[in-house]
Chains A and B, each alone.
Chain A
């Protein structure tokens, strides 16, 4: 099965600082990759998804961006963080090798102060 590596697990960043969260996938090829954000007690908000290298679709306009430089690498970035960017960020992978279920990374708890 797939393994999703996501780091760091927790992050405290000042307002206005940059952000880079990285996600790598093992055990599959050509996956669809996703970045979600989850506010406390809330559902998953889809931020970005990618169906292939260099192909990024944005679901919600904001100051975040995503990139997929390699087939199994997905990066979430920001040039200047806002307080409202705080939340639990999850990377997920579907597809590849004929699998349709999603596997999640451990998540990153981001607190912008």
Chain B
């Protein structure tokens, strides 16, 4: 069974700290990995995508992928109160003709001023 797992949290960090969010997935053949941010009452918005092993940086966000360990993470540097949201990990497991996108249940992040 294809699964994506995240710690549900809540994760609390002080303003200015680094927030680290983790995600594991079951399908070793997965090729596309995404992080979404969802504010309360709003729809998820894509903030990072990563396709290759290693790190990908975009502003204060860094996505890290380790396909051998089936692990993807999101680091948020200099965390701000506006980063308080639920972060969803998603993995595209690439099946043609079938559901190919799987989401974790999300990690709730609170940044304390």
A101 touches B43 (CB 8 A): no
CB A48 to nearest CB in B, in angstroms, measures 10
B98 is contacted by which of A51, A88, A90, A101 (Cβ under 8 Å)? A51
Whether, in the assembled complex, B32 has its beta carbon less than 8 Å from a beta carbon of chain A, the answer is yes
Known A44-B88, A101-B49, A102-B90: A107·B43 in contact at CB below 8 Å: yes
Report the nearest B residue to A94, measured CB to CB.
Answer: B101
- Number of A interface residues at 8 Å Cβ cutoff, please give it: 24
B53-61, B67-75, B103-111 - interface stretch: B103-111
Chain A contacts of B25 at CB under 8 A? Answer: none
Report the nearest A residue to B34, measured CB to CB.
Answer: A101
Known A44-B88, A107-B42, A107-B43: A102·B101 in contact at CB below 8 Å: yes
Whether, in the assembled complex, A46 has its beta carbon less than 8 Å from a beta carbon of chain B, the answer is yes
Chain A contacts of B94 at CB under 8 A? Answer: 100
B32 touches A100 (CB 8 A): yes
Find residues 32-46 in chain A having any chain B CB closer than 8 Å to their own CB.
32, 34, 42-44, 46
CB A3 to nearest CB in B, in angstroms, measures 12
Chain A contact residues, CB within 8 Å of chain B: 32, 34, 42-44, 46, 49, 51, 57, 59, 88, 90, 92, 94-95, 100-107, 109
Chain B contact residues, CB within 8 Å of chain A: 31-32, 34, 36, 41-46, 49, 88, 90, 92, 94, 97-101, 103-106
